[in-house]
């Protein structure tokens, strides 16, 4: 649905987007992650044809992007960072106007449906100048869905919303995705993306650091697997013996609870249980401690860029 | 044509909301007051001398009304793109099926229609004036009103052209003031130099005068207000050929400037 090839954007010599290669497949909910100033909005603006790339190519819905290719834009719905509504209009007038622009059939019914879905039906006759930021964002959402687009491009869609509204929008995104819409969503609120997205790209300073499924990203970005193990008896004596194992990078013991950090080059769980068994311990429970995307994100974007460079070197 | 439909939609929204705007009626009202004032002076002078000195007594007040309407329109069209750039609303339109072409022609139509509505009010105003003063609502006045539509078209396309370059309301207004001010200054300067005898000017001044005359001629094809002057003159000169030619010039001027505006807007983009 979206493909960028060596996409680059320079502002007076400053590379806001640097050789970006993204691949969004049909049906994805694709998370586009990065800290403030990473180049997310710039990338999205280029994908929408609103700012010209310095170099590189963009394919949108299977066609190479050309300026003013209106036929393609009619198949895309967009919610941007800022809402830029017409303050003198009411929600209903606003959507009617866009419905006419996009030639939406049965537009009044569709408007009612969408305003209900985002919870603004009661405020449909209020002037948009009097809308709160969150309400504006929800209205922009309704506008983006109005013409039944195949692809939704969302730039920080939940940034101004309260928790209830976030859930509302998240449910809506998921529902729209189930109906077959592809969703491309940029964010720095990671917990939201984590719950939504199957695939994510992480960028920093315009460069792609990783593009993979959520699970793979987490795996790639931790150089240790953390196992929590519950044993049949007190394990205080085990600590020093564990450190002799080549794949164990560290361990802590607390009564019969054991936390072991393992190398990630392969699955060592079997080796570990065998070792414990040989030492006379029985494993009652073993659990992999998940690294949240939040942690992975911080790992990548701040502390461990060197780690990623190493990863890229290997790849 | 889907692009035409897009243009119509943009036009409709814009036009309706502009008709509600306060400034529009202020400009109209101001223009009527000024021309009433001029008319009164004119009638007073007839009273004193007991003769009618002009075959087109209402044309001068019409000219003044037109100038005021034009100034209003050139500012309105001059900020129309930059305002939407500044407010960001332009960007949202371009997520969808809007292109520089459909956007600009929509704006053009809107501003021209605003101008035509103003001309309609002006016609009604002059009709009442003619009833009250016995100055005839002549065919010449009708011809001048029709010509005015084309002249306002020049004004609007010029304003849009300036707006296509600018990203903010402030810079549009400054650009308009600077450009129109420069036009006016050159025209005044040239007229002043023409007032001297050729023999009384030094060689460098003659050279300046010659250069000014070229610049002046250039401006008379670029400035929409020059078209306004020529167009209304052609009515008074009673030459059908000149009348039609001036309409033709105005149409060509509008098309050229609209074409340039679309081009510049495409290059400059939707952001401030
Ligand atoms: N028009 C511009 N001129 C110069 N620099 C720009 C321009 N637009 C963006 N930038 C720079 O490009 C970089 C990327 O900006 P961008 O808005 O794409 O970041 P972002 O990832 O969307 O950030 P955020 O999460 O804050 O929205 C920033 O350093 C920004 O200063
Ligand atoms: Mg951004």
* pLDDT for residue B213: 83
- In the predicted model, what is the mean pLDDT of residues B11-40? 88
A39 CB near ligand 1 (under 6 Å): yes
Q: Which ligand is nearest to the CA of A54?
A: 1
Highest mean pLDDT among B21-25, B113-117, B133-137: B113-117
* pLDDT for residue B52: 56
Residue B48 has pLDDT above 70, yes or no: no
Residue B55 has pLDDT above 80, yes or no: no
* pLDDT for residue A149: 95
- In the predicted model, what is the mean pLDDT of residues B170-179? 94
Pick the residue whose CA is nearest to atom 28 on ligand 1.
A37
A41 CB near ligand 1 (under 6 Å): yes
> Mutate which of A9, A41, A50, A105 to disrupt the B interface (most B C-beta within 10 Å)?
A50
**Confidence (pTM):** 0.83
Structure-model confidence comparison of residues B51 and B216, the more confident one: B216
Q: What is the pLDDT of residues A121-150, one digit of tens each?
A: 999 999 999 999 889 999 999 999 999 999
Residue B41 has pLDDT above 90, yes or no: no
* pLDDT for residue A309: 44
Residue B184 has pLDDT above 90, yes or no: no
* pLDDT for residue A197: 86
Residues of chain A with pLDDT under 50: 303-315
Residue B123 has pLDDT above 60, yes or no: yes
Return the minimum-mean-pLDDT range out of A121-130, B134-143, B215-224, B244-253.
Answer: B134-143
Pick the residue whose CA is nearest to atom 7 on ligand 1.
A11
Residue B197 has pLDDT above 50, yes or no: yes
**What rounded mean pLDDT belongs to chain B?**
88
Which of chain B's residues have a Cβ under 8 Å away from the Cβ of A128? Answer: none
Atom of ligand 1 nearest to the CA of A40: 21
Return the minimum-mean-pLDDT range out of A210-224, A258-272, B98-112, B126-140.
Answer: A210-224
Q: What CATH code is assigned to A2-219?
A: 3.40.50.300
Domain ranges in chain B?
2-268
**In chain B, pLDDT over 90 holds for what percent of residues?**
49
> What fold characterizes domain A223-289?
Alpha-Beta Plaits (3.30.70)
Q: Cα(B189)–Cα(A217) distance, rounded to whole angstroms?
A: 72
Helix B59-87 crosses helix B100-133 at what angle (to 10 degrees)?
150
* pLDDT for residue B94: 93
* pLDDT for residue A297: 65
ipTM of the complex: 0.87
Residue B200 has pLDDT above 50, yes or no: yes
Which of chain B's residues have a Cβ under 8 Å away from the Cβ of A102? Answer: 96-97
* pLDDT for residue A17: 93
Domain ranges in chain A?
2-219, 223-289
* pLDDT for residue A196: 83
* pLDDT for residue A308: 45
């Amino acid at each position: 649905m979206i493909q960028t090839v060596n996409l680059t954007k320079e502002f007076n010599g400053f590379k806001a987007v640097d050789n970006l290669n993204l691949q969004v497949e049909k049906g994805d909910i694709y998370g586009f992650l990065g800290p403030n100033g990473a180049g997310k909005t710039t990338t999205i603006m280029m994908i929408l044809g609103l700012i010209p790339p310095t170099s590189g190519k963009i394919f949108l819905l299977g066609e190479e992007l050309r300026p003013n290719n209106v036929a393609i834009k009619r198949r895309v719905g967009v919610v941007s960072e800022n809402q830029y509504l017409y303050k003198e209009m009411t929600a209903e007038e606003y959507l009617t106007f866009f419905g006419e622009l996009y030639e939406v059939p049965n537009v009044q019914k569709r408007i009612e449906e969408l305003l209900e879905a985002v919870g603004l039906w009661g405020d449909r006759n209020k002037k948009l100048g009097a809308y709160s930021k969150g309400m504006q964002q929800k209205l922009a959402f309704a506008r983006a869905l109005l013409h039944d687009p195949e692809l939704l491009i969302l730039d920080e869609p939940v940034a101004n919303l309260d928790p209830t509204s976030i859930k509302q929008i998240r449910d809506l995104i998921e529902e729209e995705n189930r109906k077959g819409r592809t969703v491309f969503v940029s964010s720095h609120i990671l917990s939201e993306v984590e719950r939504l997205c199957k695939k994510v790209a992480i960028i920093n300073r315009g460069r792609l650091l990783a593009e993979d499924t959520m699970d793979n990203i987490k795996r790639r970005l931790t150089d240790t697997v953390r196992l929590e193990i519950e044993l049949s008896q007190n394990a205080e004596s085990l600590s020093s013996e564990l450190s002799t194992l080549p794949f164990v990078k560290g361990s802590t013991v607390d009564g019969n609870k054991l936390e072991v950090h393992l190398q990630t080059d392969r699955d060592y769980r079997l080796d570990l249980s065998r070792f414990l068994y040989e030492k006379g311990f029985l494993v009652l429970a073993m659990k992999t401690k998940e690294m949240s995307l939040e942690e992975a994100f911080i790992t990548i974007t701040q502390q461990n860029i060197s780690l990623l460079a190493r990863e890229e070197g290997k790849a | 044509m889907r692009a035409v439909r897009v243009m119509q939609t943009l036009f409709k929204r814009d036009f309706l909301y502009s008709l509600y705007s306060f400034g529009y009626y202020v400009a109209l009202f101001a223009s009527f007051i000024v021309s009433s004032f001029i008319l009164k002076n004119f009638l007073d002078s007839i009273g004193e001398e007991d003769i009618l000195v002009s075959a087109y007594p209402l044309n001068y007040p019409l000219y003044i009304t037109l100038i005021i309407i034009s100034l209003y329109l050139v500012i309105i069209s001059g900020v129309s793109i930059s305002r939407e750039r500044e407010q960001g609303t332009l960007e949202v339109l371009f997520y969808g099926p809007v292109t520089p072409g459909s956007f600009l022609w929509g704006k053009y139509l809107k501003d021209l229609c605003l101008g035509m509505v103003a001309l309609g009010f002006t016609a009604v105003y002059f009709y009442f004036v003619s009833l009250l003063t016995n100055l005839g609502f002549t065919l010449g006045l009708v011809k001048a009103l029709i010509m005015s539509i084309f002249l306002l078209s020049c004004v609007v396309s010029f304003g849009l052209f300036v707006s296509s370059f600018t990203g903010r309301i402030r810079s549009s207004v400054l650009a308009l003031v600077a450009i129109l001010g420069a036009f006016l200054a050159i025209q005044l300067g040239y007229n002043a130099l023409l007032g001297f005898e050729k023999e009384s000017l030094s060689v460098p001044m003659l050279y300046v005068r010659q250069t000014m005359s070229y610049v002046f001629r250039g401006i008379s094809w670029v400035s929409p207000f020059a078209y306004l002057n020529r167009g209304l003159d052609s009515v008074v000169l009673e030459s059908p050929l000149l009348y039609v030619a001036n309409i033709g010039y105005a149409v060509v001027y509008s098309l050229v400037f609209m074409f340039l505006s679309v081009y510049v807007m495409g290059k400059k983009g939707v952001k401030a």
